[in-house]
Amino acid sequence: MNIAERVGREILWHGVIQTLRVLFTVCARVRVVFYSPVPKTGGFILASNHISHFDPPIITPFCPRKIDWIAMVELFHGKLLHSFFSGLMVIPVDRTGSDRTALRTAVKRLQAGRVVGIFPEGGIRDGTASIVNGGKMKEGVALLAALSGAPIVPCVILGSDRLYNKRNWRPGRRVQVLIGYGQAILAPEDLPGDQKRKFIQLEFAAEIVRIKERLCADFQLSETDLPHSPQQRMAEA
C-alpha cells in the first residue's frame, strides 16, 4: 500500500468514525463500561454478541482501538461498496463455507498488532438464541484465537435493537445503549489444539454471560432491555 492509499484510508476512517460518533451521541445515550481494561497495544480479537445491524457502527466509534471487522462478503457488492469497506479495513468472509482466505487475513492482521472484530453468533440473535443468554455460537472465534495466539476481548452490547423502532429516532428519545468489555481470554500455551479451542469457547461463553449480568445489575435492566427481534422492537409503542 502506497502513501496516497494510506492517507486516503485514514481520511475515510476518521470521517466515517466522527460522523458515527456524532450521530449516535445525538440519537442515543451510549454508555461504555470497562469491567476490564482494553489492551492499549498488540493485536486482539474483539468478540461481541450481535443484536442489530447498528452494532458495528455503534461499537466502532466508541472503542479505544481501531477495529477491522469481519463481515459478510455480500456487503462488498459493487465497486463503490467494495472500495468503501476495503478502505475501512473490513475483512470479507464467505459464510457459505470455510473461508480460509478470510481466516488467513485475520490472522495476519492480529499478528501485525491490529484489532479484529467478530460476531461469534454468525448473525443477529435474540432471546435464548443470544449468547448473552447462553445461546450457541460458531467455532470461528476460538479457531482464530488458537491459530493467531491473540487474546479475545469479550464485548456485550445491549439496547441497539431498539433503534429498529423509528419512534426512537425522534428528537429527545435517545434510547440507552450499553457496551460492556470484559476480561481478556487467552488459552494456556501447553494445551493441544482441540483442547485450546474448547477452553477458549467455554471461557468466552461464560464471560459474555457475566458481562451481561453485571450490566443488568449496574443499570437495573429488566427483561425488556435484553435482546429482542427487529420485528418485536418495531412493534413497540
In the structure, what pLDDT confidence band is assigned to residue 1 with cuts at 50, 70 and 90? low
Reported as a single tens digit per residue, the pLDDT across 193-225 is: 789 999 999 999 999 999 999 999 999 999 999
Q: Which whole-number Å values give the CA distances from 45 to 51, 145, 146, 193, in the listed order? A: 19, 7, 11, 18
Contact 151, 39 (CB under 8 A): yes
Q: Is the pLDDT of residue 142 over 90?
A: yes
Reported as a single tens digit per residue, the pLDDT across 26-49 is: 999 999 999 999 999 999 999 999
In the structure, what pLDDT confidence band is assigned to residue 2 with cuts at 50, 70 and 90? confident
Q: Which CATH number fits domain 3-230: 3.40.50.2300, 3.40.1130.10, 3.40.50.300, 3.40.50.720?
A: 3.40.1130.10
CA separation for the pair 102, 52 (Å, rounded): 23
The structural domains of the chain, with segments of one domain joined by +, span 3-230
Q: Is the pLDDT of residue 154 over 80?
A: yes
Residue 99, pLDDT score: 73
Dihedral over alpha carbons 102, 6, 13, 51 (to 10 degrees): 10
Give me the phi and psi of 153, to 5 degrees please. Answer: -105, 110
The grid coordinates of residue 194 equal 482441540
Residue 98, pLDDT score: 67
Task: Count CA within 13 A, CB hemisphere, residue 216.
Answer: 14
